[in-house]
Amino acid sequence: MAIAVEKPEKADKVQPAAAAPAARKVSRRMASAAILVAWLVLFVVLRGRQTLTLAAADLTGLHHWLNDVNDTIGANRNSNPLFLYFFNEIRLAIDNLVTFVQSLISQPTGSRPVPQIGWLGVVGLTGYVSWAVGNWRVALLAVAGFTFFGLQGLWQESMDTLALTLSAVFVALLIGIPLGVWAGLSDRFNRIMTPFLDFMQTMPAFVYLAPLTLIFLIGGASAVITTVIYAAPPAIRITAHAIRSVPETTVEAADSLGTTRSQQLLKVLLPMSKRTVVMGVNQTIMAALAMVTIAALIDAPGLGKTVVQALQSLDVGTAFNAGLAIVVMAIVLDRVTTAAAGRAEAARRRSGRLLKWRRPLLVAGGVAVAVLVYLSHTFVWAAEFPGNGTTGSHIASVADTTTLWLQDHLSGLTNALRDAITNGLLNPFQTLLTDSPWWLVGAVLVALGAVLGGWRAGVTAAVCVGLLVGTGLWSDGMTTLASTAVATVLVMLLGAVFGVWMGRSLFVDRLVRPTLDAAQVMPPFVYLVPFLALFGATRFTAIVAAVVYAAPVAIKIIADGVRNVPESTVEAATSAGCNTWQIITKVQLPMARGALTLATNQGLIYVLSMVVVGGLVGAGALGYDVVAGFSQGELYGKGLAAGLAIVLLGVMFDRITQAAARRTRA
Amino acid sequence: MARHWRAGAAGLAVLGLTLTACGGAKVGDTSSAGSKGSGGKCGTFNLAVNPWVGYEADAAVVAYVAQHDLGCTVKKKDLKEEIAWQGFGTGEVDAVLENWGHDDLKKKYITGQKTAVEAGQTGNKGIIGWYVPPWLAKAHPDITDYKNLNKYASEFKTSESGGKGQLLDGDPSYVTNDAALVKNLKLDYKVVYAGSETALIQAFRTAEKNKQWVIGYFYEPQWFLSEVPLVKVNLPKYTTGCDADAAKVACDYPVYDLDKIVSAKFAKSGSPAYDLVKKFNWTNDEQNTVAKYIAVDKMSDEAAARKWVEANRDKVDAWLK
């Protein structure tokens, strides 16, 4: 536990980075190799010293202090003016919003035993809106998807989830779009915002659930705010990006016409970035749906509750059924918003005749929907979904049978795989990280950051390493880092294989993509039980769960990168007599280098966001600290510190990989 | 339902639907889905439901009785323990039915903030300890004595335990002394944190099925024991005060008398629901029965509670006296 002051190794290892710019690429690789070799040598000499380990039940001063802060807030809740006049008002406003949306579609109000709009009205409304903002194909999908919820026997749960998601997305956009515009216009504000956004996206929700319920009470408001914290950043980031991407020349042209600043914003910047902003809305919806099971832990009604409750009795089938509803909802909302984003363009391409018909059709559709809504408000058969959800029990029993079969027939194979990767890759790497003195690992991280990403990245790494030591959880952080790194390597392997395959064939792309979507939005809680049966409560299970969640992103990005390699280049290589393997390794992958780095970056961040889930299945370390902090009052401070450590790891790797990406592109 | 290619089609469809609708029942004009007998002097009863099936069983039965016999409007809130206790102060939670020790929370909310008060025992005995799957206890009967654990340590090795035997710990909800126990009893084991009840149950389930070696932290009452009757390992007997110093613990966990906690406001409210909570009391077997209905037979909370209440009317009537 002693903290050493010496830090001698750093200087001579940064040296090789300052090589001649002409041979920079080679020297960068060599410098990284030199750093790693030096690390290995020093590890052998210094193994087991100054490792800063902390036992599971031990706390540091910082952890105690954080506990005390939390207690003070709780104790002063009713007398503090900040609560009386600020937080309580926010809570009231959001609570009213949620209650209103719930009374419309999901919850009974007053003496009325059912919500104002029944299933028929909701289905009709969804189809109509999807058609109006998108096209008839997504409208059909939306109608089919929403009807499916009813057939699954999950109508009310789905509507509860939809009500919360819509409220959260509304609030997130209400805050996010103005902030995004501001961040798009002002570099300074953007720089201030970025760390906060990183924080909101990587801080595990388990850490702030308890304080949130203390501040905003148990109920709709807390559930919405939890979701907003995670879902607003994409809206802010993408809006800012959209504003920034408006061509300089357009803005200058408007300037020369003498427009004022507000005119410029409303008439030029916003309309021109509309398409990208809608993509931001799309990402916000996806992020909000990802929080469904987390919000269920503080009594948010809906599908998340069904998943969490089913898992208390390890009822995989029921959990899968509810998870499937979340997937369907995500796919419907994704396709509708994507269609909405592309609508303006599609409309321009379409013939004038259809456009002439559009307006009367919109009116007719509106009337039809109004009738449906009225029917569903008035008559029981249109208010409550008929039937008793037999499709749902079929899905559940099929899921049960399938998992049972997999568990019985694959466990030999999976155990061998687990042992091979754990012993061959994970254990040695983890030993290297946790048994080296902390300052050695810290120096290596800083040096690698500086070599790969430049001095700025090096400084960021140094700050993060310092703060990591400050959290008192260095050793746990290194254990988590080892698993994270192994998971990222696996993600990139999968990403390269499937990404290239999908990038080279549109057919494969169409076939695989829905599976990737499902893997991204299916709540991890659903597949944890079968994974536990296959791999046991181990770090490897956590790695597999993280790979399932993170690989789709990497695959999609790499597929995109490979597809963007100019046709002519590939043709030239083919005519030069290259075989397929050579084209992939010598042409397509090198030319998609930017996409590969981006995929690494996103893959790593997504893996890190699964650390807490990993803690639930045997990964221990930071993930377990967070989970335990959520469950036991005494460990709260430690859990918060572990959450901070995860954020720090995330920020460090994000900055290094981004800087490295900029350099490879340059 | 928008048929955009022909407005007429939409109109026809609407007409058709309207016509068929004429025969349907209207919302609210029958007692089809009405909440019977709500109101009365009971009002709303906010019941915390902590996330394990045993508690779900407690809550199911109490909620059923409160609703049907007392006419309360019961609001069940699914919350972790810590957050449920917070709710006493903010008025969001009236009662917790099955509290496992949690001296830290008692200190904070009962003696400190005075927002909660004790409401007697649940009747359940909470037993915590180390368990092995039944096949193992049968094949090696001496394994249930902690003194023999070192003999078998190598059998419990896994990819996670670094050459030692693995002691699978960790539903993070409860305090565990296991790391200290392993050290103080000089056992050649390493504590590995499974991280959730789900992980623990699945580990034991797989172990029993495939005859694997697993030893781990577990507890009763628990519905899973009716599926796989795990066998408890005997640690040195618990004596009062032997766990006073957490670092030096070398004895078994105490048997917890699980108890009920209510908010101070609720206790003074004179609500009949409070009297019910105060008198509610049942045994581990009774809880296990209802938990089994829910977890194994997959009945809904309401159906499980109804089945039990109808079969045990005498017991329920005693709570209502």
Q: What is the 3-class SS of chain B, one letter each residue?
A: CCCCCCHHHHHHHHHHHHHHHCCCCECCCCCCCCCCCCCCCCCEEEEEECCCHHHHHHHHHHHHHHHHCCCCEEEEEEECHHHHHHHHHHCCCCEEEEECCCHHHHHHHHHHCCCEEEEEEEEEEEEEEEEECHHHHHHCHHHHEHHHHHHHHHHHCCCCCCCCEEEEECCCCCCCCHHHHHHHCCCCEEEEECCCHHHHHHHHHHHHHHCCCCEEEEEECCHHHHCCCCEECECCCCCCCCCCCHHHCCCCCCCEEEEEEEEHHHHHCCCHHHHHHHHCCCCHHHHHHHHHHHHCCCCCHHHHHHHHHHHCHHHHHHHHC
Q: Stretch A196-225: mean pLDDT, rounded? A: 87
**Predicted ipTM?**
0.82
Q: Is the dihedral angle over the CA atoms A83, A84, A85, A89 positive or is it negative?
A: positive
Q: Could you tell me the residue ranges of all domains in chain B?
A: 44-123+258-320, 126-248
Inter-chain CB proximity A537 and B197 less than 8 Å? no
Share of chain A above pLDDT 90, in %: 26
Angle at which helices A316-349 and A119-133 cross, to 10°: 40
What does A454-465 look like in DSSP terms, one character per residue? -HHHHHHHHHHH
Out of A55, A213, A616, whose CB is closest to B86?
A213
B298 and A315 within 8 Å at the Cβ level: the answer is yes
CA distance B321 to chain A (A): 31
Whether A444 shows a pLDDT value over 50: the answer reads yes
CA distance B74 to B57: 15
Provide the CATH topology of domain B44-123+258-320: D-Maltodextrin-Binding Protein; domain 2 (3.40.190)
B249 and B184 in contact (C-beta within 8 Å)? Answer: yes
Backbone angles phi, psi at B155, to 5 degrees: -70, -25
Q: Which residue has the tokens 């510190």?
A: A641
Q: In whole angstroms, what is the distance from residue A610 CA to residue A614 CA?
A: 6
Q: Does A521 touch chain B (CB under 8 A)?
A: no
Q: Is the pLDDT of residue B4 over 60?
A: no
Chain A CB contacts of B56 under 8 Å are 309, 312
A623 touches chain B (CB under 8 A): yes
Judged against a pLDDT cut of 50, whether residue A162 lies above it is answered with yes
Q: How many beta carbons lie within 10 A of that of residue B211, not counting itself?
A: 10
Backbone angles phi, psi at A114, to 5 degrees: -130, 165
For B47, nearest residue in chain A (alpha carbons): A299
Domain ranges of chain A: 9-69+410-665, 114-396
CB contact under 8 A, B80 and A299: no
Q: How many helices (H) and strands (E) does chain A have?
A: 35, 0
Strands B73-78 and B44-49 turn out to be parallel
CATH number of A9-69+410-665: 1.10.3720.10
Roughly how many angstroms between the first and final C-alpha of chain B, as a whole number? 56
Buried b (16+ CB within 10 A) or exposed e, A489-509: bbbbebbbebbbbbbbeeeeb
- Whole-number mean pLDDT of chain A? 85
What does the pLDDT look like over B48-80, one tens digit per residue? 998 888 899 999 999 999 999 888 889 999 888
Among A127, A294, A111, A286, CA closest to A204: A294
Residues 6 or more apart whose Cβ sits within 8 Å of residue A329: A145, A149, A158, A161, A162, A165, A289
Distance of CA B201 to the CA centre of its chain: 14
- Contact across the interface for A312 and B51, Cβ inside 8 Å: yes
> What is the Cβ-side half-sphere exposure of residue A600, based on CA atoms within 13 angstroms?
17
Taking every pair of Cα atoms in chain B, the longest distance, rounded to a whole number of angstroms, is 85
Nearest CA in chain A to B3: A365
DSSP type of residue A635:
G
From CA A126, how far away is CA A544, in angstroms rounded? 36
A225: phi then psi, degrees, rounded to nearest 5: -65, -40
Task: Give B179's pLDDT tier (boundaries 50, 70, 90).
Answer: confident
**A533/B202 Cβ within 8 A:** yes
Residue A266 pLDDT: 80
Q: What is the pLDDT of residues A38-77, one digit of tens each?
A: 888 888 888 877 777 777 677 888 888 888 887 777 777 6
Q: Which residue has the tokens 């200087």?
A: A11
Q: Comparing A9-69+410-665 with A114-396, is the CATH topology the same?
A: yes
Instruction: Return the residue matching tokens 């460090």.
Output: A652
CATH of B126-248, one of 3.20.20.70, 3.30.1490.20, 3.40.190.100, 3.40.50.720: 3.40.190.100
**Where does the pLDDT of residue A20 fall: very low under 50, low under 70, confident under 90, or very high at 90 and above?**
very low
The torsion of the CA quartet B90, B95, B101, B102, rounded to 10 degrees, works out to -10
Domains B44-123+258-320 and B126-248 share a fold: yes
The predicted pLDDT at position B1 comes to 40
B44-49 and B215-220 strand pairing: unpaired
The span from the CA of B101 to the CA of B106, in Å, is 8
Which chain B residues are closer than 8 Å to A375 by Cβ?
A: 17-18, 21
Tens-digit pLDDT profile for residues A425-441: 899 999 999 888 888 99
Say yes or no to pLDDT of A262 above 90.
Answer: no
Do residue A218 and residue B77 have CB atoms under 8 angstroms apart?
yes
Cβ burial, residue A331 (10 Å; 0-12/13-18/19+):
middle
DSSP letter (8 states) at residue A23: G
Q: Between the CA of residue A448 and those of A436, A604, A652, what are the distances in Å?
A: 16, 16, 11
Q: What is the pLDDT of residues A359-368, one digit of tens each?
A: 888 888 888 8
Query: Nearest residue of B to residue A304 by CA position?
Result: B78
Check CB contact under 8 Å for B27 and A383.
yes
**3-class SS of residue A379:** strand
Cα–Cα distance, A646 to A625 (Å, whole number): 11
Burial zone of A272 (CB within 10 Å; 0-12 exposed, 13-18 middle, 19+ buried): middle
Q: What percent of chain A has pLDDT over 70?
A: 93
Distance of alpha carbon A48 from alpha carbon A38, whole angstroms: 17
How many Cα neighbours within 13 Å face the side chain of A446? 22
Is A56 touching B (CB cutoff 8 A)? Answer: yes
| Nearest alpha carbon to residue A610 among A625, A597, A626, A623 | A623
Chain B residue numbers touching A118 (CB-CB < 8 A) = 27
Say how far apart CA A536 and CA A516 lie, in whole Å. 25
pLDDT for the residue numbered A24: 55
Q: Hey, what amino acid is at A96?
A: N
* pLDDT mean over A150-154: 91
A56 chain-B contacts, CB cut-off 8 A: 179, 191, 193
Both tokens assigned to B227: 């599926």
Q: Does A314 sit within 8 Å of B28, measured CB to CB?
A: no
pLDDT range class, residue A349, cuts 50, 70, 90? low
Contacts of B3 (CB under 8 A, 6+ apart): A365, A368, B9, B10, B13
pLDDT at B108: 85
pLDDT at A348: 63
Closest residue of B to A317, CA-based? B298
Q: What is the pLDDT of residue A100?
A: 92
pLDDT of amino acid B31: 43
Instruction: Tell me what the mean pLDDT of segment B11-18 comes to.
Output: 52
Do A173 and A278 touch, CB atoms closer than 8 A? no
Measured between beta carbons, which residues in chain A are less than 8 angstroms from residue B87? 213, 218
Residue B97 has phi, psi (to 5 degrees) of -95, -25
CB-CB neighbors (< 8 A) of B3 in chain A: 365, 368
> Looking at this protein, which amino acid is placed at residue A565?
V
> What's residue B158's pLDDT?
87
Cα–Cα separations (whole angstroms), residue B289 to A49, B276, B299 = 54, 21, 12
Q: Give the 3-state secondary structure of residue A298.
A: strand
Phi-psi sector, A620: left (phi>0), alpha (psi -120 to 50), beta: left
CA–CA gap between residue A662 and residue A660 (Å, rounded): 5
pLDDT in tens, B288-302: 999 999 988 888 899
**Residues in B touching A296 (Cβ below 8 Å):** 78
Per the CB < 8 A criterion, the answer to whether A627 and A542 are in contact is no
Least confident of A7-21, A256-270, A412-426, B172-186: A7-21
Pick the residue from chain A with its C-alpha nearest to B12.
A368
What is the arithmetic mean of pLDDT over A432-451?
Answer: 90
| Range A176-198 average pLDDT | 90
Sign of the alpha-carbon dihedral angle for A291, A295, A296, A300: negative
pLDDT band at B13 (very low <50, low <70, confident <90, very high): low
Cα distance between residue B85 and residue B111, in whole Å: 13
| pLDDT average, residue stretch A307-325 | 88
Residues of A in contact with B203 (CB under 8 A): 532, 536-537
Whether B17 sits inside 8 A of A372 (CB atoms) is yes
The answer to whether residue B166 scores a pLDDT higher than 60 is: yes
**Using an 8 Å Cβ cutoff, are A624 and B169 in contact?**
no
C-alpha B139/C-alpha B228 separation (Å) is 16
pLDDT of residue A514: 84
Provide the angle, in degrees to the nearest 10, between the axes of the packed helices A155-185 and A88-105: 130
When pLDDT is averaged across residues B23-29 and rounded to a whole number, the result is: 67
| The pLDDT value given to residue A600 | 87
Distance CA A625, CA A636 (A): 9
CATH fold of the domain at A114-396: MetI-like fold (1.10.3720)
Nearest alpha-carbon partner for A212 in A94, A358, A370: A94
